[in-house]
Chain A
């Protein structure tokens, strides 16, 4: 891979630096100890990286075989208008995940796990920088009146609660969430970046390979600690339990599945040459990959639980327990929730499907089921309160499924002089989520 690098003008660099002082306070710590935890690796570089070898020809969709666009104007108004929110959403995820990780990172049980996540955060910052490069280095005025400076500020003013995608609006309950998020939600990122490698807008396509290269370690930063926790749990460590990991998976998987978009959609992205898979096709592959992760984690657990048994014997034991989870030992293992469990977007939104795929007819029974399968910290959250209220309104017939699927508790900025000024007022959007319509000050 031959890489060209690019830097943002100083005003954007200053804005990101300012953002880091409030939202990524551990960045200097990572820089100080980089060579201790990542010896021989290149120093962290906050810059945009573009793969020079990216195809110049459209690879999928209606314009397959034609030259890829190098500017928004070349894309044409329809395609450019479709792509701009994708880049904005991608930028939001990058900065949003840093805000989520920062809150609980100091609760890591050891410094290796902590510094691995810090590196993930730094590389997400680079990915956000990459998206800003895409937003500011080309002229988008043919499809939007928003100036580049305002696009950047729009993203930098977002907080956990006001990001574009819901997975980035949920607070972490503990360091378990840092790790499970990396294994489950960053995996969606891997799929999105992989699909976007073909993008008909060449600067966007060129951005994907360097990001994917970094994403590979992000997944390891989730999976390796999970594997080690499974081993510790099998040996009787009471601090990180299989149940705790299961609850975190139950929290993040539904949001991860929803990040692919509605199961019935994705045709436009393929038609316009932005992605090479429709939503359901990618989501299905993602789910299968997570099944493999859960299988590996369970093997790790069983090997540690029964050290006297051979690898073949353990594989046989796992196969039996998967076939019959009610058998002795089955309740000790992890499992992947049904893809329709706890969904609020897409085709199965608000269908009240249980964790094993069972159906519920009563809202109270379903909420009790969720309470059994999610952590207490998450159950006490604003997100769950909003979900329960929406479910009750749906059941009472005062809300349509379509309106419910579009609803989310959301905070929006009222005014500001600076992206992270303490003078910013946050208000709950009128009529959205569980709010009473009266704005209230957040900080």
Chain B
């Protein structure tokens, strides 16, 4: 479904977006990880190809947001839309592409019966957290916990 901004469109993810997503990620992180993105894109395509979206400017993929609708995890009975990976080409930032991608995913999740949106963010990634708060995410009662498995620290 195209958005109205001239030259910009947002559409569902396809398998031919792997190369562009890999390049965007490389520009953002400095890491070239084709194997990783091949696995992730295949995963989201088999889960629900309409849930994940890419943004194009003049036909070139410059942003992506990957997610799916799930329920029953972490004791959460209600169906939630999970946003898990996203990125925008650094040269294309400031045009609201992340917001457009988010709006499309949120609309799709709503139509698929999701009652809320969920994600996890690394607090060391201040820019990512700022973006997520700007689109409406707030602190949840759920807290992400982790424990090391290298050696017995108990």
CA distance A83 to B73 in the complex (A): 45
What residues of chain B lie closer than 8 Å to A116, measured between beta carbons?
42
A216–B14 CB distance below 8 A = yes
B49–A213 CB distance below 8 A = yes
CA distance A293 to B111 in the complex (A): 32
Instruction: Digitize A223-242: 1 where CB-to-B-CB distance is under 8 Å, 0 elsewhere.
Output: 11001100100000000000
A237 CB, min distance to chain B CBs, angstroms: 15
What residues of chain B lie closer than 8 Å to A64, measured between beta carbons?
none
CA distance A103 to B39 in the complex (A): 26
Interface residues of A in 209-231 (CB under 8 A from B): 213, 216-217, 219-224, 227-228, 231
CA distance A380 to B60 in the complex (A): 43
B29 CB, min distance to chain A CBs, angstroms: 13
Interface residues of B in 7-60 (CB under 8 A from A): 14-16, 18-19, 23, 26, 32, 34-35, 38-39, 41-42, 45-50
B32–A219 CB distance below 8 A = no
Additional 13 contacts, C-beta under 8 A, given A213-B49, A223-B15: A1-B112, A213-B48, A216-B15, A216-B46, A219-B14, A220-B41, A220-B45, A222-B15, A224-B39, A231-B34, A292-B16, A300-B34, A303-B32
Most chain A CB atoms below 10 A, which of B14, B15, B111: B15
Chain B contact residue count (CB 8 A cutoff): 23
Can you report 8 residue pairs joining A to B where beta carbons are below 8 Å apart? Answer: A40-B47, A213-B48, A213-B49, A217-B46, A224-B41, A227-B34, A292-B16, A311-B26
What residues of chain B lie closer than 8 Å to A299, measured between beta carbons?
19
Does A139 sit at the interface, judged by CB under 8 A? no
CA distance A231 to B15 in the complex (A): 17
Q: Which residue of A lies closest to B34 (CB)?
A: A300
Instruction: Digitize A285-298: 1 where CB-to-B-CB distance is under 8 Å, 0 elsewhere.
Output: 00001001100100
For chain A, give the interface size range.
20 to 34
Most chain B CB atoms below 10 A, which of A40, A41, A223, A303: A223
What residues of chain A lie closer than 8 Å to B110, measured between beta carbons?
none
A227–B32 CB distance below 8 A = no
**Residues of B in contact with A (beta carbons under 8 Å apart):** 14-16, 18-19, 23, 26, 32, 34-35, 38-39, 41-42, 45-50, 70, 111-112
- Residue in contact with B16 in the complex, picked from A40, A41, A221, A296, CB distance below 8 Å: A296
Q: Which residue of A lies closest to B111 (CB)?
A: A1
Does A38 sit at the interface, judged by CB under 8 A? yes
**Residues of A in contact with B (beta carbons under 8 Å apart):** 1, 38, 40-41, 116, 119, 213, 216-217, 219-224, 227-228, 231, 289, 292-293, 296, 299-300, 303, 311
CA distance A119 to B18 in the complex (A): 21
B12 CB, min distance to chain A CBs, angstroms: 8
What residues of chain A lie closer than 8 Å to B49, measured between beta carbons?
213, 216-217
The 8 closest A-B pairs by CB, nearest first: A216-B49, A217-B46, A296-B19, A220-B15, A220-B42, A223-B15, A216-B45, A219-B15
